[in-house]
Amino acid sequence: MKILHFFITKIFLKRWILVLSMVALLFLANSLSFIAARSIISTFQGYQDVAVFNQEGNFIANLDPDHEAKFDKIDVKDTQKLYDYLNDNYTYAFQADGFGAVLDNEHDMELSFSYINEDAYRINQYELSEGNDLYFDYQVDENQIPVLVGAGLASTYPVGSTIETMDPVTQRVVNLNVQGVLEKNTHRSNFYAPDSKNYFNFAILLPVNEQFIQRAGLDLHVNGLMDLVLLDSTKEEAADLNEYVQENIGLKLNFFSQQENFDYFEAYYANSIKIICAITFVLLVILVGLATWTTLTSVRLMIKEFTINLLVGLSYSKLRTIFYSYFGMLFSVILAVLFIVIAFNRYGYWIRKDAVFATYGLFGLISMDWLALLMVLLINLMIGLTIVELTLRKIKRIPISVGVLQ
Amino acid sequence: MKYSLFRFSDVLEAFGIYLMCFTSNLLLVYVQISNVEVASLLEGFIESIVDYRLIISISLTFTMIVFHYQFLNRKKTEISCRILVGDTREGIITRYMLNSLTILMFSFVASLLLGLYLNVIGTSNLYLVFIFILYILVSAGQVTNK
């Protein structure tokens, strides 16, 4: 410990410019690894979320990007007719998010309303921290509407409380009865962009039944169609629906089967992940090369100190331990800085009142951040191993007499 | 490069570092301005790197600080010897600055050519040139035998 203290204070930190440059390079390498790791983890998490819908016999709708959509020409009567047709002939999962609403809450966040039908709710299996599950057999005009609230609203709107507010899709005042509170960080991943997520911490989840859809406006109707999932259906039935949608409201939807979705994910996301890994690897090699060059340069300047210490009895194995400890400290400092940056980044969503991305977590970090940090730690071990072993090889190649003569 | 402190290997090393900094900055600018359609996941990843272009480029210039620092530390004995045989510190400093600026200029010209090839305005590297000139001026004060 004493020798380590001596080396750090009297040898390494004496040339602080070198240490600072090393920290900058390693910080870049760590940040890059973190960004790559988190992108990949987020995609896998999203893929798992989507997988509950992507089953055999299910068809997930997607607006055809090659077909021009004329939303301004869609009439609510036509969409209502379409939903009547859907209710009569199909079983489907319906969910639409992101309808903004202004409601008092202790964090002053702009809330969002999320609408979900019974099948989507059953498949998603959202976990509750308290209260009961939603029920869907209520009367829109007569009863209070049962809702679930996000974890961030639990203290303002506890289970059993009633919220009187203007519903953004029916444009009428409704009474919402809080049935339960969603677990922290309950989220929904986008079907065709699984790395992007909507968090429900400041959302109100409303059950949608046939009656509710009849009262709802065009926004909910059209939004719901974009992510519609046909359940226990066939390719022919999906094609029929596509034809019906195109004839009645002029939108062209693609209904992709499980195999088509697997192929899409394989072609689109697996390739992207491979490219991300390749870019990260190449950039890491360059950064580690630069860091190694900086270390070897430092050795060139510090060789006198190293050889004198080797001459008076310092063994190479002890020198190796000193180097590993030194790099261990550097990486610890860098990881701490990276941790602060990530935590601040997450906290930024709270400051900006960005309800869709505001999350809860240990020290502000959510599970995917911790996993990515763990991967960065493993990458650091490999970087440290490479640099230290290359440095020691360099030191060993310099004869002690030459070092002392310097 | 007569009477220069720079040996051929030092020139190559300095040229390589300058070029690496210029090239990485140019590539980041190129990625930022090019509208190549890529998958959203890849786009997000690239964006999260390109957004920090300034920080990345400036961090990479630190390698040039390391170069100047180690170079002048290694050359202390040579500077002493030169002063001993009649050279002046001012003369050594002037030659050091001129040599460093020449290497910088050559690598900047090389980066301009690369910029032309990539269709990126070479002036996006100008701020790096100013940073490097600043490093040269500061390091010139360190040309000493002590």
pLDDT at A387: 92
Looking at chain B from residue 59 to 118, which residues have their Cβ under 8 Å from any Cβ of chain A?
59-60, 62-63, 65-67, 69-70, 73-74
Q: Which residues pair with A149 in a beta bridge?
A: A181, A204
Q: Find out whether A206 and A115 touch, Cβ atoms under 8 Å.
A: yes
Contact B63 A293 (CB under 8 A): yes
Contact A25 B59 (CB under 8 A): yes
Q: Could you tell me the pLDDT band of residue B93, with boundaries at 50, 70 and 90?
A: very high
- Using CA atoms, how far residue A173 sits from A112, A144, A161, A252, in Å, is 16, 11, 16, 34
Q: Give the pair of three-digit tokens for residue A334.
A: 């860098």
- Using CA atoms, how far residue A379 sits from A41, A383, A385, B25, in Å, is 15, 6, 10, 25
- pLDDT tens column, B44-91: 888 888 888 899 999 999 999 989 998 998 888 889 998 888 888 899
Are residues A232 and A176 both part of a single domain?
Answer: yes
User: At which of A237, A256, A275 does a domain end?
Assistant: A256
User: A325 is in which domain, residue-wise?
Assistant: 2-50+262-405
Are residues A104 and A235 both part of a single domain?
Answer: yes
Q: Does ipTM top 0.85? A: no
Are residues A12 and A146 both part of a single domain?
Answer: no
DSSP B55-106: HHHHHHHHHHHHHHHHHHHHTHHHHHHHHHTT--HHHHHHHHHHHHHHHHHH
Are residues A68 and A42 both part of a single domain?
Answer: no
Contact B45 A279 (CB under 8 A): yes
pLDDT at A319: 85
Are residues A24 and A116 both part of a single domain?
Answer: no
Neighbour order of strands in the sheet with A59-63? A91-93, A229-231, A59-63, A253-256
pTM of the model: 0.85
Count up the domains in chain A and report the number.
2
Q: Vertex A244, ends A242 and A246: CA angle to 5°? A: 70
The average confidence (pLDDT) of chain B is 88
Are residues A290 and A369 both part of a single domain?
Answer: yes
Contact B49 A39 (CB under 8 A): no
- pLDDT tens column, B94-143: 999 999 999 999 999 999 998 888 888 777 889 999 999 999 999 998 88
User: At which of A238, A256, A274 does a domain end?
Assistant: A256
User: At which of A205, A236, A256 does a domain end?
Assistant: A256
Are residues A266 and A249 both part of a single domain?
Answer: no
Residue entry with tokens 């400890």? A325
Q: Which among A20, A35, A193 has the least Cβ separation from residue B40? A: A193
Are residues A11 and A78 both part of a single domain?
Answer: no
- pLDDT tens column, A271-312: 888 888 998 999 899 989 988 888 888 888 888 787 888 777
Q: Give the pair of three-digit tokens for residue B118.
A: 């990539």
Buried b (16+ CB within 10 A) or exposed e, A374-391: ebbeebbeebbeebbebb
CA distance B50 to chain A (A): 11
Residue entry with tokens 């009895």? A313
Are residues A287 and A249 both part of a single domain?
Answer: no
Show residues of chain A in contact with B37, CB under 8 Å: none
- pLDDT tens column, A8-57: 777 777 778 888 888 999 999 999 999 999 999 998 888 888 888 888 88
Separation CA A244–CA A85 (nearest Å): 9
What percent of chain A stands above pLDDT 70?
A: 98
Are residues A193 and A300 both part of a single domain?
Answer: no
Interface of A with B (CB under 8 A): 15, 17-18, 20-21, 24-25, 27-28, 31-32, 35-36, 39, 43, 193, 195-196, 268-269, 271-273, 275-276, 279, 290, 293-294, 297-298, 300-301
Q: Going residue by residue through chain A (406 aa), what tens digit of pLDDT does each one get?
A: 777 777 777 777 777 888 888 899 999 999 999 999 999 999 888 888 888 888 888 888 888 877 777 777 788 888 888 888 888 888 999 999 888 888 888 888 888 899 999 999 999 899 999 999 999 988 887 778 999 999 999 999 999 999 988 888 888 888 899 999 999 999 998 877 788 888 999 999 999 988 888 888 888 888 888 888 989 888 888 888 888 888 888 888 888 887 788 788 877 788 888 888 998 999 899 989 988 888 888 888 888 787 888 777 778 888 888 889 989 999 999 999 999 999 999 999 999 888 888 999 988 899 999 999 999 999 999 999 999 999 888 888 877 666 555 5
What one-character DSSP code corresponds to residue A362?
Answer: B
B123 CB near a chain A CB, below 8 Å?
no
Q: Which residue of B has its CA nearest to A195?
A: B41
Are residues A196 and A300 both part of a single domain?
Answer: no
Are residues A221 and A91 both part of a single domain?
Answer: yes
In sequence order, the 6+-apart residues with CB closer than 8 A to the CB of A282 are none
Separation CA B125–CA B121 (nearest Å): 8
